[in-house]
Structure 1
Amino acid sequence: MRGCVPKAAGRPSGGCDFPVDPELEPPAAPVFWNPADAPAIVNLIAPVPPVGVASVTLGRSGIDERGDEAGLLWRRLSGGAVLVGASDGPADAMIGVLIPFDDDWSIRVAAAERLRSTLIDRTADPPLTEQRRERLKRALRCVDGRAEGASYRAVATAFFGARRVANEPWKTSSLKAQVARLAAHGRMLIDHGYRQLLRGKPF
């Protein structure tokens, strides 16, 4: 991820401060992933040569953008896609997608198709279904709760309500098992699973 700054003296270990405010909702967070790390999210773009091929222009579309020292412009669209291209191109240039011949070819092609649907059809499906997104949120909330000392029962009560938790003997409760699975899933996401999401791979 771009924009991570060295940690200040006296800060807790971890290598860097938060690159964005952790209190922001994900769609509002100005996060720019590298193309090599997030082929399912980042599209490499370039102006279409003047060979008579029609395409789309970006104009000033996007909710956040920044340049880097290599002369590239990183632009994030409202749907979450990140576009990377030369910063000196005209704003009204027709653009296309560059797809490297690498091991992530199929992932990049799928990302390019989502981008096309976003820019032209305005009907792109989100990379994650609402059900999967909700499970990811609960898994990470579970990890946060456990880190703050909350028991599985307290987490289950927060998720499902005290009455539902009390309906089953806690020792053999299906909700207890569900929270334990969420905790394991959240830990996996933090350790390495987020990379799978960036590569568009389900788990």
Structure 2
Amino acid sequence: MLCGGDGACNFLVHPVFTAVEIPVFWSPEEDSSVVILTDVPSLLPSDNIFIDALDPNAPRRDETGEHFLHDLGNGQSLRLVRLIGVDGARPLAALVPLDADGLDRVEAVSRLVKALHGRAVPQDTRLTDQQLRRARHMLQAVDGRTSGASYREIAEALFGARRVADQPWKTSALRDTVRDLVRDGLAMIQGGYRQLLRHRRRS
């Protein structure tokens, strides 16, 4: 958002839209599932059979190239970026740096290639159902806490009053769970949410 001295502001996205209505284009540095498209090396055989399928619809352009979404046909979309100077009418290759995010990017490329070949596309595995559920509970817990709710009230909202009442609150495992949810939720809000864009790796 850019605001002038007269109070008028230019929004990058019109404020009438909700967060779920507008696609978010994360940079490839942050989102390891972004597929980076470049020219096919001349030493490799290639054709342009999939060029039309990868034709961007209303791409976002910046100094790195064209960012757009590709429908995988399974209710999900994959974010692609065609690097600056790459001819969209010529055969394309996916660029996978040999770094810590390499396996994440290989998985994303695999999902794209399967979609292009009409094969079944697996779901994105960066977040399991359990991790998604915990992320939702973290945000609910933080929302409750910032609205003035006690830890016990949050626990009752998340897990049910009967379950909370089953054991003394001061020594309840749910008390510790809610405290952890609030702590981790605050950390996620303060920038930790970017970790959701990558697979968890063993240290």
* TM over 0.5, shorter chain: yes
Give the shorter-chain TM-score range: 0.7 to 0.9
Structure 1: gaps spanning 5 or more residues? 12-16
> CA separation in 2, counterparts of 1:135 and 1:18?
31
Task: Determine helix, strand or coil for the equivalent of 2:164.
Answer: helix
Query: Could you give the per-residue CA deviations for residues 102-154 of structure 1, whole angstroms, max 9, x where no partner exists?
Result: 55334322332333344432322222111111111111221122122221112
Task: Determine helix, strand or coil for the equivalent of 2:68.
Answer: strand
Q: Confirm or deny: 8 A CA contact 2:37 2:94 kept in the other structure.
A: yes
Deviation (angstroms), 1:202 = 5.2
Of 173-182 and 81-90, more deviation after overlay is shown by 81-90
Task: Determine helix, strand or coil for the equivalent of 2:148.
Answer: coil
Task: Determine helix, strand or coil for the equivalent of 2:88.
Answer: coil
Match of 1:72 among 65, 76, 79: 65
Q: Which residue of 1 aligns with 2:95?
A: 98
Instruction: Tell me the TM-score normalised to structure 1 length.
Output: 0.72
Match of 1:85 among 54, 65, 82: 82
Task: Determine helix, strand or coil for the equivalent of 2:29.
Answer: coil
The verdict on how the C-alpha distance between 1:189 and 1:80 changes in structure 2, with shifts beyond 3 A counting, is farther
Q: Which residue of 2 aligns with 1:14?
A: none
RMSD: 3.5
Q: Which residue of 2 aligns with 1:138?
A: 137
The verdict on how the C-alpha distance between 1:130 and 1:156 changes in structure 2, with shifts beyond 3 A counting, is same
Task: Determine helix, strand or coil for the equivalent of 1:181.
Answer: helix
> How is 1:10-159 mapped onto 2 (pairs within 5 angstroms)?
23-25=18-20, 28-38=21-31, 40-46=32-38, 48=40, 52-53=45-46, 57=50, 59=52, 65-70=58-63, 72-78=65-71, 79-86=76-83, 89-90=88-89, 94-120=91-117, 121-126=119-124, 127-159=126-158
> CA separation in 2, counterparts of 1:119 and 1:46?
17
Q: Confirm or deny: 8 A CA contact 2:33 2:104 kept in the other structure.
A: no
Instruction: Tell me the TM-score normalised to structure 2 length.
Output: 0.72
Task: Determine helix, strand or coil for the equivalent of 2:191.
Answer: helix
Q: Which residue of 1 aligns with 2:170?
A: 171
Q: Figure out how many residues of one structure are paired with residues of the other and give that number.
A: 189
Task: Determine helix, strand or coil for the equivalent of 1:96.
Answer: strand
> CA separation in 2, counterparts of 1:161 and 1:18?
41
> CA separation in 2, counterparts of 1:6 and 1:86?
27
Q: Confirm or deny: 8 A CA contact 2:51 2:88 kept in the other structure.
A: no
Deviation (angstroms), 1:98 = 1.4
Identity of paired residues, percent? 33
Q: Which residue of 1 aligns with 2:186?
A: 187
